[in-house]
Amino acid sequence: MNYAQTMFNLTIPIAIRYMFLSALGFALMAACVKAVSGYGIPVLEIVAARAIVSLLLSYVDVKRKRISVWGHNKLLLMARGTVGALALICVYFAVTTLPLAEAAILQYTYPAFTAVLALLFLKERVQRATMLCIALSLLGLTVMVKPDLLTGTPSDLDLPLLSVMAALMGAFGSAVAYVLVRKLSQNEDSSVIIFYFPLIALPTAVLLLGDDFVMPGFEALGLLILVGVFTQVGQVGLTKAMAVEKAGKATAYSYVQVIFAAILGLIFFNEMPTVWTLLGGSLIMTGALINALWKR
């Protein structure tokens, strides 16, 4: 092991390394989803293909550890899988109809949803940092989606409303999933938690897909496989990071995914973020980071 690698291991906590790995995996996954949609592959078919690859990889990983694939809290595991599957469909639709950077930024409105869920169902007091996060998220969302409300002049830069709503529904599902993952990590192995996600997502996607299946060509098939592989990388990194670190601290470093997404969008899809995306995205990311790091 050389000096640089030694210093990296000493200075970068393992939870942060897992989170960076997760962010890169999910950004590459999104790029593959967007690319394969250009071949006419429906979103639900992409979800099903991802689930098949993830299911096989997860099953092998669980068996490697010589543990039961079914876990202990089956009801909660199924709930996490169901929420994740529905959120995934929304996220993939947003990715295929929005620029990668915009889709990634909208996904990170989930801390605001988490705070509202905690207030309504767990009766948790909303802290000042969280209130500021919600306010900045709403302002940033307005700047990104409807800049004409601020300028007072019509704009052709408005994002499609249906795609934005899908992205927000995906963020809402992610908020629920993060809470469930953190709860399950207390007594469930990370591989089992990951296994339940594609276990639920596969039949859900196939059922909803119906007769809309499109036979993929060689290149599209390769991209579909990569969607599943990069998903597995992201899931493993996320689950392991949240298992060894508090959720707020761990997810604070996941926002680098937006940077990865913007770079991939620029390189592969010639997507240049607008000034409104940069401004609104900065507000959303600032609010999320304040919420995650306030106590530190």
CA distances from 147 to 166, 192, 259 (A): 19, 44, 22
Q: What is the mean pLDDT of residues 225-232?
A: 88
- How many Cα atoms are found within 13 Å in the side-chain-facing hemisphere of 158? 12
Q: What is the mean pLDDT of residues 186-202?
A: 90
Return the percentage of the chain with pLDDT > 70, whole number: 82
What pLDDT does 14 receive? 79
* Structure-token pair, residue 259: 């940077």
The one-character DSSP state at 160 is: P
Q: CA torsion 209→164→86→269, rounded to 10°?
A: 60
CB-CB contact of 89 with 51 (8 Å): no
Provide the whole-model pTM.
0.81
Q: What is the mean pLDDT of residues 135-161?
A: 71
The one-character DSSP state at 254 is: G
* Structure-token pair, residue 237: 């990194």
pLDDT digits (tens, 9 = 90+) for 155-192: 555 678 899 899 999 999 988 887 788 778 888 888 89
The one-character DSSP state at 186 is: T
* Structure-token pair, residue 159: 């994002």
Q: pLDDT band for position 149 (50/70/90)?
A: low
pLDDT surpasses 50 at 8: no
| Rounded Cα–Cα distance for residues 290 and 266 (Å) | 28
What pLDDT does 195 receive? 92
Query: 190 or 130, which is more confident?
Result: 190
